[in-house]
Structure 1
Amino acid sequence: MDYRDELDAFVRYLRVNRGLSEHTVRAYDGDVADCLSMLADRGVHSLRDVGIDDLRVWMASRSRSHSRSSMARKVVSIRAFFAYLAEHGMIDADPASALKTPKIPSVLPAVLSERQARDLMDTVDRDAESDASTDAAGAVDPSGGSIDSGDGKRTVKGRSDHAVAPDHAAALDHAVALRDAAIVELLYATGIRVAELVSLDVADIDFSTHTVRVTGKGNKQRVVPFGVPAAKALAAWLEQGRPVVPHGRSGGVDSGRAGGSSADGGGIAGDAAFLGVRGARINQRVVRQVVHRSAARAGVPDISPHALRHSAATHMLDGGADLREVQEMLGHSSLQTTQRYTHVSIEQLIERYDQAFPRA
């Protein structure tokens, strides 16, 4: 079955007409190609020959090796593809219109308590203020080892391609600690996604209004406020830490950045708000490592950057923020997505009630 022309046209439609991010477009492309390849192997010769039973066979086959959430995404991709074909007259009828999306169990997001979040922020701030020899965020002790470069590479002190002088190595270690404190503080203060954080440029941060301009899913922009602690951590990194890091091009960064044409790591790393040790724009994997390491040092539950996003939303609602305000801050297109955090807040309220009320 020859389907590449139709799939290429669909991909262009997603990118140009719907303005989806490169990450999302690639997911659609891969899901549809997987389905059509399997149907071709089963003897389906034309897109016009595809029926609902063929699609259900594909679903049954893939469900054995994929989670419900993955299958739900794949079904959305297939339905969008065949709807596009039918709308543009490439097929007579849409066989996927009756294809049902698998039900996904509702799982409440993991969050830190306010005390745990405070302990985490205090820990990264202390690390940033401590001596440059602190092994913050992957920097090693003087006996040897390696520094996580932030762009997916590791540099062995004194034994890399570009040997680092001891005094500069110490300054670089301290710069990494400043960077990591700013990362953790900003993730919690704003609730932004990790892909949104790595795509930030210096020009996106406005210290006069304590806001950051974020490019989120679908290349949509929003402005998110941050508080004084995050502002101090950001200023320390940008003024004291970032100048220590050599600036280069960002060609090696993670390809999952939010946004438009720079999603594949293009652009000048010198514009990036957060850099790796080698000077490239920091990637998502290293940001996740920073958060995991910081949580371990603080003695709080192991969390991901997305859990900090969940925590920020929950704590805002606990503090009396309006649900729509939180929706705007997080960049949710649907209020239903934001409403998950009200359930977390209610659960925590019940738990505190049971612990504190004498007749609970």
Structure 2
Amino acid sequence: MAEKDLIKADSSNALLLDQNTITPEYFISHYMEFVPMYIASGQPSRDTLKSYASSIDQFLEWCRDNKRSPLSFHDYQMRYYFSWLFKKGYKKSSMAIKMVHVRCFFIAAVKIGLIKENPCRDIHIPNAQPEERIFFFTPDQLYEICRAFDDEKNDFLRCRDTSILCLMGAEGLRNVEIHRMNRQDINWENGSIFIRGKGHSRYIFPCASTMKFLSDYLEYCPTPDKTGEPFTPMFICDCNRNGRKRISRNGIRFIMNKALEKTGYKKPGISCHVFRHSTGTNLYAATKDLRLVQETLGHRDPKTTARYAHIQERMAKRVTEKIFPHPLK
């Protein structure tokens, strides 16, 4: 499903249809009129919908290539499909995400009465990233990364890039949250920032260093181009070709990768999310307060936050010391 079609898709269209008139063909062609009601309590973000649509479209294309109706699939055929994904080189973590998305497609089909059982119900793909494998930077490493652009001669670029790194590394913001940030979101009087998060919004209270870099950045930042947006973008790009418009998410990734390369921490598989893991792990290590970590990162599910406590506890206990207490000479 193309992005423009995805944006136009409206679940309210389904309200006009009687359940008995929804044919399998109509459901398959217009699944985004139904599936969103079973994602994030019926309020998925645009990014979430794009991710679901990508996985479901891939599955439907595979069905067409193999001349199969997706609503006739049973457990074995779904296992064959995920085996095909594995052979295509997808990682288990990616397959687990695609499983969730395709399963939701069938959940909607069951609820509407097009099929009796979800063929993905009993299929489970183990999490390929247990707590012990979550990569994170130490506070000293984060400090080094955040100072990666100290030698930048351009004041605007130095302050912009450093501010973005501080928001990721010290405050744990997502790429999309930095991308969406506006100047009007910052309350300089109480030192808070309104964050337009993934699925829900919240306020954060950044540390003094982050606020100082944001203030310095605005001092050197050129006037953004007028684009018709109701708010003024906080971070703008520096490319003359695109003008002084809101920085893209790819632009934020470029800044992160450049900082990691300059400091020697660039490794395959590292994404912006590593900075969130670092904030969660380091904040829990410093406070031992899971509730505080949950509020800082904007997690809805406390189980997501609890993994940072598990990492610290495993690192601190090192239980095998009890059975091998004396170091080898």
Q: Same fold (TM over 0.5)?
A: yes
Does the Cα contact within 8 Å between 2:35 and 2:108 map onto a contact in 1?
A: no
| Residue 94 to residue 15, structure 1, CA distance change in 2 (3 Å) | closer
| Residue 290 to residue 38, structure 1, CA distance change in 2 (3 Å) | closer
Structure 1 residue aligned with 2:249 = 284
Matched residue of 2:116: which SS? coil
Offset, 1:281: 0.7
Aligned pairs for 1:153-168 (under 5 A) are: none
Structure 1 residue aligned with 2:168 = 187
1:229 to 195, 209, 219: 209
| Residue 337 to residue 201, structure 1, CA distance change in 2 (3 Å) | same
Structure 2 residue aligned with 1:207 = 188
Does the Cα contact within 8 Å between 1:76 and 1:101 map onto a contact in 2?
A: no
Letter in 1 for 2:279: A
Q: Which runs of 4+ in 1 moved over 4 A?
A: 14-17, 346-351
Aligned pairs for 1:1-360 (under 5 A) are: 2=25, 4-11=28-35, 13=37, 18-45=42-69, 47=71, 49-65=72-88, 66-106=90-130, 107-124=132-149, 126-127=150-151, 134=152, 173-218=154-199, 220-238=200-218, 240-242=219-221, 244-249=222-227, 268=229, 271-277=232-238, 278-297=243-262, 299=263, 301-302=265-266, 304-346=271-313, 349=316
Q: Deviations over 1:289-346 (max 9, x none)?
A: 222323444x352364322222222221121240121012112222222223234434
TM-score, length-normalised on structure 1? 0.71
Q: Deviations over 1:204-237 (max 9, x none)?
A: 112222221112222x111111011111111111
Does the Cα contact within 8 Å between 2:36 and 2:42 map onto a contact in 1?
A: no
Matched residue of 2:34: which SS? helix
TM-score, length-normalised on structure 2? 0.77
Letter in 1 for 2:191: H
Does the Cα contact within 8 Å between 1:108 and 1:340 map onto a contact in 2?
A: no
**Unaligned 5+ residue runs, structure 2?**
1-23
Counting matched residue pairs gives 289
Offset, 1:276: 0.6
Partner Cα distance (1:17, 1:323) in 2:
24
Letter in 1 for 2:276: R
Partner Cα distance (2:70, 2:280) in 1:
48
Does the Cα contact within 8 Å between 2:185 and 2:194 map onto a contact in 1?
A: yes
Q: Deviations over 1:255-306 (max 9, x none)?
A: xxxxxxxxxxxx6296111111221111122212222323444x35236432
Partner Cα distance (2:113, 2:202) in 1:
37
Does the Cα contact within 8 Å between 1:82 and 1:95 map onto a contact in 2?
A: yes
Matched residue of 1:279: which SS? coil
Partner Cα distance (1:231, 1:241) in 2:
15
Does the Cα contact within 8 Å between 1:190 and 1:329 map onto a contact in 2?
A: yes
**Unaligned 5+ residue runs, structure 1?**
128-133, 136-172, 250-266
**Percent same amino acid at aligned positions?**
24
Higher relative CO (CA 8 A, sep ≥ 6), structure 1 or 2? 1
Offset, 1:93: 3.4
Does the Cα contact within 8 Å between 2:284 and 2:309 map onto a contact in 1?
A: yes
